[in-house]
Amino acid sequence: MIAKRPHLPFAAALLALAAPVVTARGPAERLEIVDRAIAYHGGERYRASEVELDLCSKSGCFHLRSRVDGERFDHTVTGKIRDGERRVRITNETVEAWLNGEPVAVEPAAEQRLRDWVMARVYFPFLPYRLNDPGVYKHDLGRERWGERELHKVKVTFSPGSSTDADDEYLYWFDPESGRLEQFAYSYDGDPGGLRFRRLTHYRRIGGILFADQENYGVEGDGLRVDRITPDFAATLRHVSTIKLSNVVVRPLASPADGG
C-alpha cells in the first residue's frame, strides 16, 4: 500500500487474495463461536454467490459487485474520486481499471494499491466471512457483559507479512447463542493511528445472507490498542459515520467451483 488509510484497514481482506501460507506461528485454529457465526450469517452461500449492493458512508457512495465461486473471486467497485468516476475490477489474477468509463493502463506498481481500494470496501459488508482464512489468528476471550447482554468476545490478529496491514488488531463480539455478529473494533497505525468501534444495526437477510448497516465510532491517537475497548470506554467515543447498504441483490451460484 502506498499510504495508510486509517479509516479503512484491509489486513483480513487482503488475505482473501493470497494463497494459503505457512508461517512460523503454525496453522490458525478454528473457534466454534466463529464457525457458528459464519454459518448463521450465510455459510456456504458466501462461497457460491454474486452480490450487488450500494454502500454509502461519510467517504462517499460506492457500487459493489462481488462474485465468489469457491476459491475464485471477481470483485468490482465503482465510485467517485477526485478525477471523476473510478471503476476497478480485481480477480485472483488480474487488476483492471476505468476512469470515467475509459480503460486505464494498470502498471504493476499500482496493482496492490488498486486491490487495497477494492477490498477496503468489499470486506466489511460480508463480515464475519473470511475469519477462517489462513493467517487469521483467533483468540477466544470468553463472554463480556455489555449493558443487559453478555457477548462472546474474540480477538483477531494476523500473520506477520501476510498483508499490507498485518499489524492491525480486531475484536469481535458475537451473540453467544446464535453467533450473530453484534459489534467489532479495530486499532490501526497511521498519521495518526487510532481506534474504531462499530455496532451493527438494521439486520436483514437477503438471498440467505445476513446484511447490516454499521454505526462507526472512534478516536485518533498513536499507540492506542484495541484491547482498550470496554463498555465504558466505548461510551466516550465520538460518532464518526454511518455505513448504509442498499439495493442489495444476491444471485446464488450452483455450487462452489472447487467443490469445497
153: domain CATH number is 2.50.20
- Cell digits of residue 124: 466489511
| pLDDT given at position 259 | 52
18 within domain boundaries: no
**Positions of the chain with pLDDT under 50:** 1-23, 162-164, 260
Residue 151 CB: number of other CB atoms within 10 A? 20
1 within domain boundaries: no
| pLDDT given at position 28 | 77
260 within domain boundaries: no
- Structural domain of 160: 26-252
| pLDDT given at position 167 | 65
13 within domain boundaries: no
Rounded distance between C-alpha atoms, residue 190 and residue 165, angstroms: 10
10 within domain boundaries: no
Domain count, the chain: 1
| pLDDT given at position 20 | 42
Residue with cell 507479512: 161
258 within domain boundaries: no
**In Å, how far are 20, 31, 32, 129, 133 from 35, measured between CA atoms?**
19, 6, 5, 10, 12
- Cell digits of residue 93: 489474477
14 within domain boundaries: no
| pLDDT given at position 192 | 82
pTM of the model: 0.87
Report which DSSP code applies to 29.
P
Looking at residue 95, its amino acid is V
Q: How many CA atoms lie within 13 A of 195 on its CB side?
A: 20
| pLDDT given at position 166 | 52
20 within domain boundaries: no
Rounded distance between C-alpha atoms, residue 24 and residue 44, angstroms: 30
Rounded distance between C-alpha atoms, residue 48 and residue 67, angstroms: 8
| pLDDT given at position 27 | 72
> H or E stretch including 121?
helix 108-122
Do 43 and 187 form a contact (C-beta atoms < 8 A)? no
| pLDDT given at position 22 | 44
| pLDDT given at position 162 | 45
Do 204 and 53 form a contact (C-beta atoms < 8 A)? no
DSSP string, 72-120: EEEEEEEEEETTEEEEEEEESS-EEEEETTEEE---HHHHHHHHHHHHH
Phi, psi (degrees; rounded to nearest 5) at 170: -125, 150
Q: In terms of Cα–Cα distance, which of 180, 190, 234 is closest to 212?
A: 180
Looking at residue 221, its amino acid is G
**In Å, how far are 46, 58, 157, 226 from 168, measured between CA atoms?**
24, 22, 7, 9
Residue with cell 452480490: 51
- Cell digits of residue 29: 485454529
